[in-house]
């Protein structure tokens, strides 16, 4: 309905291969970004930043990473949490052991470390497929849980086992207030989102998808499975690692291995599935859904209880949350196995064809 | 030496329990191609049901006939597991036929959450004892062989025994009974099975029910050992490497895998743990499975995957 | 025809391939000359596909050796075969379902894309320039195969005949020296078959590509191929120009036996 | 790149080659031609075009192409084909575009008649056609092809790749730098610029010779009327041999300097149309009709709400859309509604049809139904009609913005004089007239009368505000006994625009009034009847229902009212009619196979009915033998009511 595509013809390949080939899309996305940078800071309050926006941004980044691996390269992982942990702890160590290490480098180095481990734990993918691989990745999860709990070196032998990082700053600009934290994360996510988009529309992305869709054929046309898979693991882990570092540094401030438990891994996978495999946008939808839902339930359930005059205990609420969350996931998988992103693209197609139904 | 054998046997005992849980996985994977992450939740669910039913039954019976109470509770819990199986088939599986593995796996995670939620809402979320009158006292054996003999926990021993029996029963069930054959047929090829008139939906209910019973047994044993509590749900995580090791589709695989993992864990914990700060058994099991995978991607007894061009 | 057939480019000597106990191929030898259209025919289950899989390294024969351009080819993986200029299509189409026709064919250029991950990640000049160069090539192929109208359609939505064309396009994108075609006309209607024949001949003619193709139905093959190898139950029972082969009693027997 | 210097000598822009050079100098980088090829719209700027035209022209001369030679152009709309026209003109030759879908046999006559020495063809397919008839074409010396695909094994030396030709040209140009300028300078506005063959409905096709002057005049006129700029985009998808395409895609494009866009292939025209979104567009009525039907069909499957929305706003558009387009006063409420509709329905609809950027759209070549016509105008597409023939560069009448009617073909275009002969034939005079028919002075003499008017062969008249109405082929027009003009097809067409009326046959030649046979459209009338709960058994039954007769009478009276509006045809109002008891049917020889009514046959066969009509009877029994699909014969009989339709006083005469 909003689309007016007449006259938007392409006279060069460069124009035909840009990210948004339709002017209306470009405008829309730029609008959203602008709003995120200008509008939201004016509207959101502290709670919004802490409880929703910052977690949403960081987890979107992580989900993006997972999606590159699961959605684009077709390699299931249940160890994403571990790579967040690696990112966080690696960055932590870079920061405390190398003084004067700039924050951004610290975070990126964390990501690189995670990427390295990603390659290591990706090796099984060369031999095993699907569910077997899923379980193999759990190995990474449990190993890291253990390592960061038991091997003192990583936590700089902190007595409590929890580590913390304080007074972050970039170029002498302190990142303390939620707003600053939010903007900091936003910059990261925007950049990384475009990087992800570029990768997926470039040769490497096609290699990943080829491996995902039909690995034998891919190999026959000269794609090296090892390179394709391991690069996917590396890039994915890098994204996830950076997200982990942000999670620890910016969102939590001080954390323990529990912050990156296997539940986190599942959570990230949920985001990808519900958001939509093989869709950049989907990662954001998924993250939003998973972040907002519990908060929403927390607000709504007691209210509902009051309505029917039932006093719901906090335990009761958490159980109810489990039930509702679980059933919602199942519901989603049933009605739209391709995730929210698919719904979105269907809607978009409809708009382009409006007023025609097809 | 004695100590080694002791740990070894301890490992075997623990392994048997892993096998029990692993068995649940294998059953369901065989028949419905679903990698059932909810197995742990089912164990918890079943155990909770068992514990509370026997508690209530006991009160109802005036507390003088624990055995009867347990029997009643067992059947009650069985019924509950059947309902669960039926509901799962009805509400979930039926609607997810022919989806890829990842999707189904997610679904079972969803189911897991629901089961945990419901279980704790109905049966409460504290720690509950299960007392099926397992002897707690250890026995000393083979004094003649090793000085000091070997201390074996009777409970473990019986548990292992039960597990062994269950495995035997299931194996027979699968090989001999028509239902079992039907299940195998379904596992091999849904369409084909349907075309020769095997009702998919019913088979699935049955299989999930059986898996439920297995979970119940596992739940009872673990419960009576450690008490029924939320952490039971995580036992699934412990059993995963077993399945991988044994091969997703093989019952004997689950057993052997269980034993290997059990033993591996105990030995590593005892002989390796101290040097690295302990607590390594979880990941060790996984590493074991992982390393193993690299050499035999389809697991010990799993069918080989050949890709045609 | 302007093209002239060159000398032997690929020489298979005493190839034997076994799966477990089963003998898929037994002591098969034949050669392929540059620029020729070489057909491997035989009833279903004669081992044709296995032969192809041996040539491009999907299967590794237990015995026999493969001489490629005069050098013996040791155990090699499919992607190495690809990098030495061997491309192929598949009997039951193996396209990348999640991708558009354009992207599917673009994957064929993969070996020729040099820019590194970082450049691609940032879509920097060189990476983009490369993308565009290859896009040009791919568009030429699309034009060649007359599939402009489905350029951006996801392959999953295409009818069988067109998918086969895209499959061929993907192989062509590799600019191969040897092109292996696995039953290129299987399951096509007469018109589609004619088109496919035309394309195959055009490829062979315009790009001088050596073509090795498999078919179980003799008719088509005899018209378009220079030399034919006949397999039956994993053994070679005939080899020569179409007319010889057609005349050979053994071949006739095999085909009558197989109910052709 | 041509520079000011080497063409300073060229004064005046009265030939196409000079115009091209003019653009190449004044706006070298403006896009002249686009073609969807290899996935993107490849673009040739005016200087590119000038270069290539130069190369082609020199190439032709290098091959021995002489002033006055004819050069056949056969193929789809391709850039090189258009450039070749200008190239031929540059060296004083005459391009002769042919219909690319014709088979070799059909091309033979034209190629022989025009004695073509050179041909530029699109691809192998066309080459093969020419080779097939080559030995019957002694004159044909060289064939140039645009697309080398599949040509590599053609060894004939008279075949040339177009790029090879251009290469020859460039060399030739280097050796004789001022050759081409000289040639172009010799070019005179009165030279023949193109030869278009009329698809001879009667006898063999005739080659219509048009000069630079006439086509440039025609182009200028059109540009002036519609204020066309150099920024227009047009989609060139109609046959190059058709005068319309030559006017729009060659003459006007070259004069105004706007961009022509060549689609990728036949099956991608619709998508290419959507991408380009032309600002200036032509399509024959059937195309518009096809589009409309597809729109309606696709809307059928839309959801309830969407349908409601659609129909509501369509109603709004019907009410005020056209007026808004014509800048007539419209109530604020309607304007608001229309604005909303434009947002929700019309805009998106135009977008999907690829007509969102259209400033001017034309249709011609056949009568277009008022419904159809007003639909497009109502959703904001400035669709207009024009009138003209090959002999007049398709340029006689244009509908000026703001004065658009569905039943006229517009006012005389700038520089065109129109005269109506006593027999009602339309005569035209102006700069756009043909120079003559190729090698057919006789035909030329017939078609242009003593005072230099061209006889169009169409009967028509100028209505109250000076717009031309074409009513019929002149030869079909008769007279009523009172001398009034009687144009059966005109009335019948008007009647057939009603969905309820399938066929109509009017009588009136040398009679005192006009009467009509009607065939109802079973589908439409059937629906209508069902909605009113009128039960019926088959055509005959339905045709005799009083309610149906009533319905048809209303249609007729509407037509009568319209007719009364024009003095010329006012007397042709239908006084009495009857609805035939059977459908006119080719199997019964009542229609031709192309479903044209065989007037005389019908009037003989149903003499009784005609008599009844004119004797003023109230009803008449009739029985007719019919052939059924399965070949059986049977009889249909009915007692047909004869209905009197109200007639109206002629607008002029009353008061």
| Cβ neighbours for B225, distance < 8 A, ≥ 6 positions apart | B155, B159
Four-residue CA torsion sign, D200, D202, D204, D209: negative
Residue with more model confidence, D419 or B151: D419
Range among B7-16, C37-46, C164-173, D2-11 with highest mean pLDDT value = C164-173
Output the CA–CA distances (angstroms, integers) from residue D136 to A291, B155, D205, D438, D598, in the order listed: 81, 107, 18, 20, 39
D370 neighbors D407 (Cβ within 8 angstroms): yes
Looking at the complex, does the CB of residue A289 fall below 8 Å from at least one CB of chain B? no
CATH class belonging to D478-644: alpha beta
Q: Strand runs (DSSP E) across D19-141, as ranges?
A: 31-37, 40-45, 70-74, 94-98, 118-121
Mean of the pLDDT values across residues D359-372? 88
- In terms of residue numbers, what domain contains B239? 2-295
In this structure, is residue B69 part of a structural domain? yes
* Peptide bond before residue A3 is cis, with ω within 30 degrees of 0: no
Q: Which two tokens stand for residue D392?
A: 């007049």
**Which chains are adjacent to chain C, needing at least 3 Cβ pairs under 8 Å?**
A, B, D
Kindly report the nearest CA distance between residue B34 and chain C, in angstroms: 24
User: From CA A344, how far away is CA A28, in angstroms rounded?
Assistant: 14
Q: Quickly state the pLDDT bin for C256 (edges 50, 70, 90).
A: low
Q: Quickly state the pLDDT bin for D147 (edges 50, 70, 90).
A: very high
User: From CA C194, how far away is CA D487, in angstroms rounded?
Assistant: 54
Four-residue CA torsion sign, B39, B45, B48, B53: negative
In this structure, is residue B303 part of a structural domain? no
Kindly report the nearest CA distance between residue C64 and chain B, in angstroms: 22
For testing the chain A interface, which of D40, D300, D312 should be mutated: the one with the most A CBs within 10 Å?
D40
Beta strand pairing call for C22-33 and C8-19: antiparallel
Tell me the domain boundaries of chain C.
1-85+176-260, 94-175
Partners of B116 on chain A (C-beta within 8 Å) are 319, 322
D107 neighbors D113 (Cβ within 8 angstroms): no
For testing the chain D interface, which of A9, A21, A351 should be mutated: the one with the most D CBs within 10 Å?
A9
| Cβ neighbours for D59, distance < 8 A, ≥ 6 positions apart | D87, D165, D166, D167, D168, D169, D172
CB contact under 8 A, A203 and C109: yes
CB contact under 8 A, C132 and A13: yes
Per-residue pLDDT tens digits for A4-31:
999 999 999 999 998 998 999 999 999 9
Q: Is the pLDDT of residue B111 over 90?
A: yes
Q: Which residue among D39, D265, D268 sits closest to C139, beta carbon to beta carbon?
A: D39
For testing the chain D interface, which of A348, A353, A356, A358 should be mutated: the one with the most D CBs within 10 Å?
A356
A22 neighbors A8 (Cβ within 8 angstroms): yes
Percentage of the residues of chain C whose pLDDT score is greater than 70: 97
What is the chain D residue with the closest CA to C203?
A: D150
Kindly report the nearest CA distance between residue C6 and chain B, in angstroms: 30
Per-residue pLDDT tens digits for D619-655:
899 888 887 767 778 888 888 899 998 888 876 544 3
Partners of A348 on chain D (C-beta within 8 Å) are none
Mean of the pLDDT values across residues A333-337? 86
Output the CA–CA distances (angstroms, integers) from residue B94 to B82, B100, B112, D536, in the order listed: 16, 14, 17, 51
Terminus-to-terminus CA distance in chain C, angstroms? Answer: 32
CATH code of B48's domain: 1.10.3470
In this structure, is residue A25 part of a structural domain? no
Mean of the pLDDT values across residues D148-154? 88
Query: For residue B303, what pLDDT is reported?
Result: 63
Partners of C142 on chain D (C-beta within 8 Å) are 38-39
In this structure, is residue B300 part of a structural domain? no
A284 neighbors A300 (Cβ within 8 angstroms): no
Looking at the complex, does the CB of residue B309 fall below 8 Å from at least one CB of chain C? yes
Q: Which two tokens stand for residue C30?
A: 């034949």
Residue with more model confidence, B17 or A250: A250
**Which chains are adjacent to chain A, needing at least 3 Cβ pairs under 8 Å?**
B, C, D
Q: Is the pLDDT of residue B15 over 90?
A: no
CB contact under 8 A, A5 and D42: no
User: From CA C14, how far away is CA D17, in angstroms rounded?
Assistant: 70
- In terms of residue numbers, what domain contains A109? 33-353
Beta strand pairing call for C37-41 and C227-232: parallel
User: From CA B151, how far away is CA B159, in angstroms rounded?
Assistant: 16
Query: For residue D5, what pLDDT is reported?
Result: 35
Q: Quickly state the pLDDT bin for B140 (edges 50, 70, 90).
A: confident
Kindly report the nearest CA distance between residue A339 and chain B, in angstroms: 11
CB contact under 8 A, D38 and C149: no
For tokens 């190398």, name the residue. Answer: A98
DSSP for D152-200, please give it: TT---TTEEEHHHHHHHHHHHHHHSTTHHHHHHHH--TTSEEEEEEE--
CB contact under 8 A, A146 and B280: yes
Q: Is the pLDDT of residue D455 over 80?
A: yes
Mean of the pLDDT values across residues D19-29? 95
| Cβ neighbours for C14, distance < 8 A, ≥ 6 positions apart | C27, C28, C29, C63, C64, C65
Looking at the complex, does the CB of residue C237 fall below 8 Å from at least one CB of chain A? no
Helices assigned H by DSSP within D233-268 = 243-245
Nearest residue to A235 (alpha-carbon basis) of A114, A128, A143: A114
- Beta-bridged to residue D102, according to DSSP, are none
CA atoms within a 13 Å half-sphere pointing along the CA-CB vector of A139: 26
Query: For residue D202, what pLDDT is reported?
Result: 60
CA A339 to chain centre: 15
**Which chains are adjacent to chain D, needing at least 3 Cβ pairs under 8 Å?**
A, C
Mean of the pLDDT values across residues B230-235? 79
Q: Which two tokens stand for residue C28?
A: 């098969």
Please tell us whether the domain made up of C1-85+176-260 is placed in CATH 3.40.30.10. no
Query: For residue C91, what pLDDT is reported?
Result: 86
For testing the chain B interface, which of A135, A274, A278 should be mutated: the one with the most B CBs within 10 Å?
A135
B200 neighbors B206 (Cβ within 8 angstroms): no
Looking at the complex, does the CB of residue C77 fall below 8 Å from at least one CB of chain A? yes
Q: Quickly state the pLDDT bin for D10 (edges 50, 70, 90).
A: very low
B43 neighbors B234 (Cβ within 8 angstroms): no
CA D216 to chain centre: 20
Looking at the complex, does the CB of residue B294 fall below 8 Å from at least one CB of chain C? no
Partners of D262 on chain A (C-beta within 8 Å) are none
Kindly report the nearest CA distance between residue A101 and chain B, in angstroms: 30
Residue with more model confidence, B185 or B80: B80
User: From CA A191, how far away is CA D174, in angstroms rounded?
Assistant: 55
- Chain A, 56 to 95: residues with Cβ < 8 Å from chain D are none
For testing the chain B interface, which of A138, A144, A258 should be mutated: the one with the most B CBs within 10 Å?
A138
Partners of A313 on chain B (C-beta within 8 Å) are none
Q: Is the pLDDT of residue B146 over 70?
A: no
CB contact under 8 A, C149 and D150: no
DSSP for C157-198, please give it: GS-HHHHHHHHHHHHHTT--SEEEEESTTTT--HHHHHHHHH
Q: Is the pLDDT of residue C260 over 60?
A: no
Per-residue pLDDT tens digits for A119-146:
999 988 888 877 778 878 888 999 999 9
CB contact under 8 A, A134 and B35: yes
For testing the chain C interface, which of A220, A223, A339 should be mutated: the one with the most C CBs within 10 Å?
A220
Query: For residue D9, what pLDDT is reported?
Result: 37
Query: For residue D92, what pLDDT is reported?
Result: 95
A120 neighbors A61 (Cβ within 8 angstroms): no
Number of compact structural domains in chain B: 1
As its CATH architecture, domain D283-356+358-473 has 3-Layer(aba) Sandwich (3.40)
Looking at the complex, does the CB of residue C109 fall below 8 Å from at least one CB of chain A? yes
* Average pLDDT in chain D: 90
Q: How many CB atoms lie within 10 A of CB D92?
A: 22
CATH class belonging to D7-279: alpha beta
Query: For residue B148, what pLDDT is reported?
Result: 65
Residue with more model confidence, D595 or C140: C140
Nearest residue to D470 (alpha-carbon basis) of D428, D515, D416: D428
Kindly report the nearest CA distance between residue C126 and chain A, in angstroms: 12
Kindly report the nearest CA distance between residue C135 and chain D, in angstroms: 9
- The SS3 of residue D559 is helix
Query: For residue D50, what pLDDT is reported?
Result: 97
Query: For residue D655, what pLDDT is reported?
Result: 35
CATH class belonging to C94-175: alpha beta
Nearest residue to C237 (alpha-carbon basis) of C226, C253, C221: C253
For testing the chain C interface, which of B100, B306, B308, B309 should be mutated: the one with the most C CBs within 10 Å?
B309
Output the CA–CA distances (angstroms, integers) from residue D85 to A47, B71, C221, D49, D120, in the order listed: 73, 100, 45, 12, 10
Query: For residue D200, what pLDDT is reported?
Result: 60
Q: Do chains B and D touch (3 or more CB pairs under 8 A)?
A: no
DSSP for B154-220, please give it: HHHHHHHHHHHHHHHHHHHHHHHSHHHHHHHHHHH-HHHHHHTT--HHHHHHHHHHHHHHHHHHHHH
For the sheet containing C8-19, what is the strand order? C22-33, C8-19, C63-68, C71-73
Q: How many CB atoms lie within 10 A of CB D46?
A: 26
DSSP A344: H
Q: Do chains A and D touch (3 or more CB pairs under 8 A)?
A: yes
CB contact under 8 A, A6 and D301: no
What is the chain B residue with the closest CA to C94?
A: B309
Looking at the complex, does the CB of residue C96 fall below 8 Å from at least one CB of chain A? yes
Please state which of the ranges A225-229, B52-56, C17-21 shows the lowest mean pLDDT: C17-21
Q: Quickly state the pLDDT bin for C21 (edges 50, 70, 90).
A: confident
Q: Quickly state the pLDDT bin for D435 (edges 50, 70, 90).
A: very high
Q: Is the pLDDT of residue A236 over 80?
A: yes
In this structure, is residue B83 part of a structural domain? yes
C169 neighbors C105 (Cβ within 8 angstroms): yes
Partners of D38 on chain C (C-beta within 8 Å) are 136, 139-140, 142-143
Q: Is the pLDDT of residue D281 over 90?
A: yes
In this structure, is residue A5 part of a structural domain? no
Mean of the pLDDT values across residues D247-270? 94
Nearest residue to B32 (alpha-carbon basis) of B268, B216, B198: B198
Q: Which residue among A131, A269, A337 sits closest to B35, beta carbon to beta carbon?
A: A131
- The SS3 of residue C49 is helix
DSSP for A104-141, please give it: HHHHHHHHHHHHHHHHHHHGGGGT--HHHHHHHHHHHH
Q: Which residue among D39, D295, D351 sits closest to A5, beta carbon to beta carbon?
A: D351
What is the chain C residue with the closest CA to B309?
A: C90
Kindly report the nearest CA distance between residue A357 and chain D, in angstroms: 5
* Diameter over CA atoms, chain A: 67
For tokens 């030739």, name the residue. Answer: D172
Q: Which two tokens stand for residue D38?
A: 């290899």
Q: How many CB atoms lie within 10 A of CB B140?
A: 10
């Amino acid at each position: 309905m909003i689309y007016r595509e007449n006259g938007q013809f392409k006279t060069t390949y460069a124009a035909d291969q840009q990210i948004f080939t339709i002017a209306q899309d470009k405008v829309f996305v730029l609008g959203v970004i602008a709003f995120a940078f200008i509008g939201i800071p004016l509207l959101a309050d502290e709670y919004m930043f802490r409880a929703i926006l910052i977690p949403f941004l960081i987890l979107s980044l992580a989900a993006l990473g997972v999606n590159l691996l699961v959605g684009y390269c077709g390699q299931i992982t249940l160890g994403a949490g571990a790579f967040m942990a690696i990112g966080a702890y690696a960055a932590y160590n870079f920061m405390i052991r190398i003084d004067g290490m700039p924050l951004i480098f610290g975070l990126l180095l964390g990501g690189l470390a995670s990427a390295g481990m990603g390659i290591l734990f990706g090796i099984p993918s060369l031999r095993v497929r699907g569910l077997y691989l899923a379980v193999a990745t759990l190995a990474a999860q449990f190993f890291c849980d253990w390592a960061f709990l038991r091997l003192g070196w990583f936590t700089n032998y902190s007595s409590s086992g929890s580590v913390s990082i304080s007074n972050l700053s970039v170029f002498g600009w302190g990142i303390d207030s939620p707003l600053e934290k939010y903007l900091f994360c936003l910059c990261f996510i925007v950049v990384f989102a475009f990087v992800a988009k570029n990768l997926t529309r470039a040769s490497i992305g096609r290699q990943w998808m080829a491996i995902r869709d039909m690995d034998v054929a891919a190999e026959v046309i000269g794609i090296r499975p090892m390179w394709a898979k391991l690069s996917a693991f590396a890039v994915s882990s890098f994204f996830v690692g950076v997200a982990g570092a942000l999670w620890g540094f910016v969102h939590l401030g001080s954390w323990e291995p529990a912050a990156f438990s296997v539940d986190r891994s599942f959570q990230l996978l949920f985001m990808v599935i519900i958001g939509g495999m093989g869709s950049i946008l989907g990662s954001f939808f998924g993250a939003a859904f998973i972040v907002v839902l519990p908060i929403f339930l927390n607000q709504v359930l007691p209210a509902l209880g009051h309505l029917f005059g039932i006093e719901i205990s906090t335990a009761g609420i958490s159980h109810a949350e489990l039930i509702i969350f679980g059933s919602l996931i199942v519901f989603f998988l049933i009605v739209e196995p391709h995730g929210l992103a698919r719904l979105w693209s269907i809607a978009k197609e409809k708009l382009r064809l409006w007023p025609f139904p097809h | 030496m004695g100590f080694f054998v002791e740990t070894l046997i301890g490992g075997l005992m623990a392994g048997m329990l892993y096998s029990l849980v692993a068995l649940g996985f294998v059953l369901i994977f065989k028949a419905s191609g679903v990698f059932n992450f909810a197995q742990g939740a089912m164990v918890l669910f079943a155990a909770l049901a068992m514990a509370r039913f026997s508690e209530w039954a006991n009160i109802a019976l005036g507390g003088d006939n624990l055995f009867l109470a347990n029997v009643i509770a067992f059947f009650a819990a069985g019924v509950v597991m059947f309902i669960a199986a039926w509901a799962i088939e009805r509400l979930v599986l039926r609607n997810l036929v022919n989806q890829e593995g990842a999707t189904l796996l997610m679904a079972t995670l969803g189911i897991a959450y629901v089961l945990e939620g419901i279980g704790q809402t109905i049966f409460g979320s504290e720690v509950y004892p299960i007392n099926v009158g397992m002897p707690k006292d250890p026995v000393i054996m083979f004094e003649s062989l090793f000085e000091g003999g070997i201390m074996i926990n009777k409970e473990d021993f019986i548990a292992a025994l039960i597990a062994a029996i269950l495995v035997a029963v299931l194996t027979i069930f699968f090989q001999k009974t028509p239902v079992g054959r039907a299940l195998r047929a379904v596992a091999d090829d849904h369409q084909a099975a349907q075309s020769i008139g095997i009702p998919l939906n019913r088979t699935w209910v049955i299989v999930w029910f059986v898996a439920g019973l297995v979970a119940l047994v596992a739940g009872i044993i673990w419960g009576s050992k450690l008490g029924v509590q939320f952490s039971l749900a995580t036992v699934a995580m412990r059993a995963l490497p077993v399945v991988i090791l044994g091969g997703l589709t093989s019952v004997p695989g689950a057993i052997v895998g269980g034993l290997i993992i059990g033993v591996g864990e105990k030995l590593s914990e005892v002989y390796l743990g101290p040097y690295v700060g302990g607590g390594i058994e979880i990941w060790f099991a996984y590493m074991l499975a992982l390393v193993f995978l690299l050499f035999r991607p389809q697991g010990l007894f799993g069918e080989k995957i050949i890709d045609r061009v | 025809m302007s093209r002239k057939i060159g000398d032997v480019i690929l020489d298979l000597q005493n190839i034997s391939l076994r799966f477990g106990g089963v003998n898929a191929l037994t002591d098969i030898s034949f050669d392929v000359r540059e620029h020729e259209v070489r057909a491997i025919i035989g009833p279903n289950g004669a081992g044709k596909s296995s032969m192809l899989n041996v040539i491009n390294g999907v299967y590794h024969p237990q015995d026999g050796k493969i001489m490629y351009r005069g050098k013996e080819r040791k155990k090699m993986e499919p992607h190495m075969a690809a990098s030495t200029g061997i491309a192929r299509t598949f009997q039951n189409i193996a396209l990348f379902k999640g991708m558009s026709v354009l992207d599917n064919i673009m994957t064929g250029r993969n070996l020729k894309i040099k820019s590194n991950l970082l450049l691609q990640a940032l879509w920097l000049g060189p990476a983009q320039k490369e993308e565009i160069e290859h896009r040009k090539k791919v568009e030429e192929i699309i034009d060649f195969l007359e599939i402009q109208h489905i350029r951006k359609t996801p392959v999953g939505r295409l009818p069988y005949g067109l998918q086969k064309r895209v499959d061929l396009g993907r192989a062509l994108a590799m600019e191969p020296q040897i092109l292996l075609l696995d039953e290129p006309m299987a399951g096509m209607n007469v018109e589609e078959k004619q088109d496919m024949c035309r394309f195959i001949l055009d490829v062979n003619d315009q790009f001088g590509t050596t073509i090795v193709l498999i078919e179980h139905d003799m008719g088509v093959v005899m018209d378009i191929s220079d030399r034919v190898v006949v397999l039956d139950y994993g053994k070679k029972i005939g080899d020569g120009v179409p007319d010889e082969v057609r005349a050979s009693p053994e071949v006739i027997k095999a085909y009558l036996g197989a109910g052709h | 790149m041509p520079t000011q210097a080497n063409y300073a000598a060229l004064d005046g822009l009265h030939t196409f080659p000079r115009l091209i050079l003019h653009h190449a100098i004044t706006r070298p980088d403006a896009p002249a031609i686009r073609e969807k090829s290899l996935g993107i719209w490849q673009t040739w700027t005016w200087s590119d075009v000038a270069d290539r035209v130069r190369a082609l022209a020199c190439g032709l001369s290098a091959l021995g192409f002489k002033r006055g030679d004819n050069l056949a152009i056969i193929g789809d709309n391709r850039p090189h084909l258009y450039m070749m026209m200008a190239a031929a003109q540059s060296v004083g030759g005459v391009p002769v575009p042919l219909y690319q879908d014709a088979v070799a046999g059909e091309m033979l006559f034209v190629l022989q008649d025009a004695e073509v020495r050179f041909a530029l063809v699109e691809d192998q397919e066309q080459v093969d056609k020419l080779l097939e008839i080559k030995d019957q074409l002694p004159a044909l010396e060289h064939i140039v092809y645009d697309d080398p695909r599949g040509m590599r094994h053609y060894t004939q030396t008279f075949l040339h790749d177009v790029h090879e030709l251009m290469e020859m040209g460039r060399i030739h140009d280097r050796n004789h730098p001022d050759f081409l300028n000289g040639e172009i300078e010799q070019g005179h506005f009165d030279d023949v610029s193109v030869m278009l063959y009329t698809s001879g409905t009667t006898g063999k096709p005739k080659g219509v010779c048009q000069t630079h002057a006439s086509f440039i005049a025609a182009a200028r006129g059109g540009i002036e009327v519609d204020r066309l700029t150099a920024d227009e985009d047009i989609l060139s998808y109609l046959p190059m041999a058709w005068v319309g395409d030559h006017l729009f895609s060659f003459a006007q494009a070259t004069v105004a300097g706007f961009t022509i866009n060549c689609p990728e292939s036949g099956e991608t025209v619709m998508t290419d149309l959507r991408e380009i979104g032309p600002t200036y567009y032509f399509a024959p009525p059937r195309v518009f009709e096809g589009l409309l039907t597809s729109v309606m069909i696709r809307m059928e499957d839309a959801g309830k709400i969407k349908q409601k929305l659609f129909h509501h706003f369509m109603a709004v558009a019907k009410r005020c859309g056209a007026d808004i387009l014509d800048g007539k006063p419209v109530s604020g409420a309607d304007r608001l509604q229309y604005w909303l509709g434009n947002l929700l329905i019309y805009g998106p609809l135009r977008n999907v049809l690829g007509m969102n950027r259209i400033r001017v759209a034309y249709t011609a070549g056949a009568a277009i139904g008022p419904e159809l016509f007003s639909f497009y105008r109502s959703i904001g597409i400035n669709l207009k009609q024009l009138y003209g023939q090959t002999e007049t560069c398709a340029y006689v009448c244009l509908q000026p913005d703001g004065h658009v009617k569905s039943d006229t073909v517009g006012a005389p275009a700038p520089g065109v004089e129109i005269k109506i002969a006593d027999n009602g034939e339309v005569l035209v005079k102006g700069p756009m007239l043909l120079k003559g028919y190729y090698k057919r002075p006789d035909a030329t003499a017939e078609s242009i009368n003593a005072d230099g008017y061209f006889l169009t062969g169409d009967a028509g008249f100028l209505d109250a505000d000076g717009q031309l109405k074409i009513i019929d082929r002149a030869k079909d027009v008769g007279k009523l006994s009172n001398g009034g003009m009687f144009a059966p097809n005109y009335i019948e067409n008007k009647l057939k625009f009603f969905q309820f009326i399938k066929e109509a046959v009017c009588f009136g030649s040398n009679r005192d009034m006009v009467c009509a046979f009607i065939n109802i459209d079973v589908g439409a009338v059937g629906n209508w009847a069902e909605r009113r709960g009128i039960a019926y058994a088959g055509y005959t039954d339905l045709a005799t229902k009083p309610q149906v007769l009533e319905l048809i009478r209303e249609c007729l009276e509407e037509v009568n009212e319209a007719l009364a509006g024009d003095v010329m045809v006012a007397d042709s109002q239908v006084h009495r009619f009857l609805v035939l008891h059977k459908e006119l049917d080719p199997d019964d020889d009542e229609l031709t196979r192309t479903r044209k009514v065989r007037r005389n046959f019908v009037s003989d066969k149903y003499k009784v009915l005609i008599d009844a009509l004119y004797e003023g009877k109230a009803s008449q029994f009739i029985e007719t033998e019919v052939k059924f699909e399965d070949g059986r014969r049977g009889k249909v009989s009915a007692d047909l009511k004869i209905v009197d339709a109200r007639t109206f006083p002629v607008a002029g005469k009353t008061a």
